[in-house]
Structure 1
Amino acid sequence: MTAGFQLDALDLAALLCSRVCHDVINPVGAIVNGLEVLEDEDDASMKAFALDLIKKSSRTASARLQFARIAFGAAGSAGSSIDLGDAENVARGFIQDDKVTLKWSAPRVFMPKNKVKLLLNLLVVAGSTIPRGGSIDARVTGDAEAPTFDILALGSHSRIPAGLTSLLAGEPESGTLDSHAIQPYYAGLISRAASMAVRVQAVDGGVRIGATPA
């Protein structure tokens, strides 16, 4: 079914670019700050701190860009497939940190590009349901051409963000989109392109997100 709300292609591209910039601006800014400290400070401990900040921030920026390349970008020619092992690597780099742990259970197979993009975008959605951190358990079962995704996010103060279900369905409640709402809306676009149906439900201590062949 085609959603009634239609977003101009230029607006979609602009909002997705804003989303990617939002994800990388903090680590890039930290790299700049670290370089300024190295340039201005003579204290050895401060220089060591700056180097550590630059290293950590560089890894974070790289991980977020690698994730965006698959989750939001073309990541290959039209009709290509993506290795789920590569998807796991970029997902861990993007999601797993001091606040969130990622458990991954999936076969090491090549899967149609849009289905992998959907899986990664649903992991981002899952992260938004545990604002204070916790764990995300992602499971992929079934045939590579018709998989089933089951993602369980557990954490204190877990909740389904307001308007999430509508955004996934392609019908933003406000009738407009901004850079914060574009990611779940885009996940919904990908789900329909991949012929998969997404469901979101609150469970004890968390939120479960599933996707099955439509």
Structure 2
Amino acid sequence: MNAVTLDALDLSALLCSRVCHDVISPVGAIVNGLEVLEDDQDESMREFALDLIRKSARHASARLQFARIAFGAAGSAGASIDLADAEKVSRGMFSDEKTQLSWSAPVALFPKNKVKLLLNLVMISTGAIPRGGLLDVKVTGDGEAPTLVLVAKGSHARIPPHVEALIAGTPENGVVDAHGILPYYAGLVARAAAMTVSFSIEGDTVTIRSEPVAAAVEPVIETPPASSEDDRPSDSEPSDTLLA
């Protein structure tokens, strides 16, 4: 199947749609809480509204901070990102969620695209455990050749539908929509970072593994061995050339 290529406008529009989808729910909850404060004088309801506003504001802020690194520039071209910042925004995403996050990574600056790939795979991993569970993130190696392993364990675990084809840039129907833009974008980032992405599932555990693309092996050209003196024709042997 041929790879699908989105033009810049379509790609940016779909990414913006994804970010808006992620923040519209907590922002809407803030609006609802403010309406309760304006219209309801019951003290218990007002306290409930204030608590809703506080939680929703934190949630919206966490999602925006995550999106800033996962989808945004997060610095100038060629910049590196601290893995500690990646961990911080990831934990913020799951602070009030049903998924528990375990994180193991070196204290180091990694190339921007590799960190963006890691965060996008974190989001994809949550789709592998729709009922929640444990997400274990491990980063080993250095920034030039890291290995990213994300293990999602939970009830009804599954590899998200079409995710492998979307990461490869070859969606089954040949179309990328707002629902598929996250894995499609992750595939773009993986290729830009020269990283592979693979999925496996065993029981209630889904594993996503990302490694550097193996260096191409140069073909070996065999040269014939140098002829020895024993292989040369002797003076007694007849020559193939007739002298006039």
Which range, TM-score by smaller chain?
Answer: over 0.9
- 2: distance between equivalents of 1:172 and 1:91? 27
**Structure 2 equivalent of residue 165 of structure 1:** 164
**SS of the residue 2:148 aligns to:** strand
Contact 1:106 1:141 survives alignment (8 Å)? yes
- 2: distance between equivalents of 1:25 and 1:84? 27
Unaligned ranges ≥5, structure 1: none
**Structure 2 equivalent of residue 201 of structure 1:** 200
CA RMSD across the alignment: 0.9
Higher helix share: 1
**Structure 1 equivalent of residue 74 of structure 2:** 75
Q: Letter of the aligned partner of 1:99 in structure 2?
A: K
Task: Using structure 1 for the length normalisation, give the TM-score.
Answer: 0.97
**Structure 2 equivalent of residue 94 of structure 1:** 93
Unaligned ranges ≥5, structure 2: 214-244
Task: Using structure 2 for the length normalisation, give the TM-score.
Answer: 0.85
Q: Which runs of 4+ in 1 moved over 6 A?
A: none
**SS of the residue 2:4 aligns to:** coil
Contact 1:136 1:153 survives alignment (8 Å)? yes
- 2: distance between equivalents of 1:203 and 1:141? 23
**Structure 1 equivalent of residue 124 of structure 2:** 125
**SS of the residue 2:189 aligns to:** helix
1:144-183 correspondence to structure 2 within 5 Å: 144-183=143-182
Higher strand share: 1
Contact 2:33 2:52 survives alignment (8 Å)? yes
**SS of the residue 1:185 aligns to:** helix
**Structure 2 equivalent of residue 29 of structure 1:** 28
- 2: distance between equivalents of 1:196 and 1:178? 24
Q: Letter of the aligned partner of 1:27 in structure 2?
A: P
Deviations 1:55-103 (A, max 9, x none): 0000000000000000000000000000000000001111343310000
**Structure 1 equivalent of residue 54 of structure 2:** 55
Pairwise CA distance, 1:146: 1.1
- 1: distance between equivalents of 2:95 and 2:121? 15
- 2: distance between equivalents of 1:51 and 1:97? 17
**SS of the residue 1:143 aligns to:** coil
- 1: distance between equivalents of 2:40 and 2:137? 45
| Percent of aligned pairs sharing the same letter | 64
Matched, 1:15 2:22: no
**Higher alpha-carbon Rg:** 2
**SS of the residue 2:210 aligns to:** strand
**Higher relative contact order, chain-length normalized (CA < 8 Å, sep 6+):** 1
**SS of the residue 2:96 aligns to:** coil
1:182-197 correspondence to structure 2 within 5 Å: 182-197=181-196
Contact 1:96 1:102 survives alignment (8 Å)? no
- 2: distance between equivalents of 1:92 and 1:145? 25
Number of residue pairs the alignment of both structures matches: 212
Matched, 1:108 2:125: no
- 2: distance between equivalents of 1:181 and 1:188? 11
- 2: distance between equivalents of 1:42 and 1:97? 28
Deviations 1:109-162 (A, max 9, x none): 000000000000000010011001001000000112211000000000011122
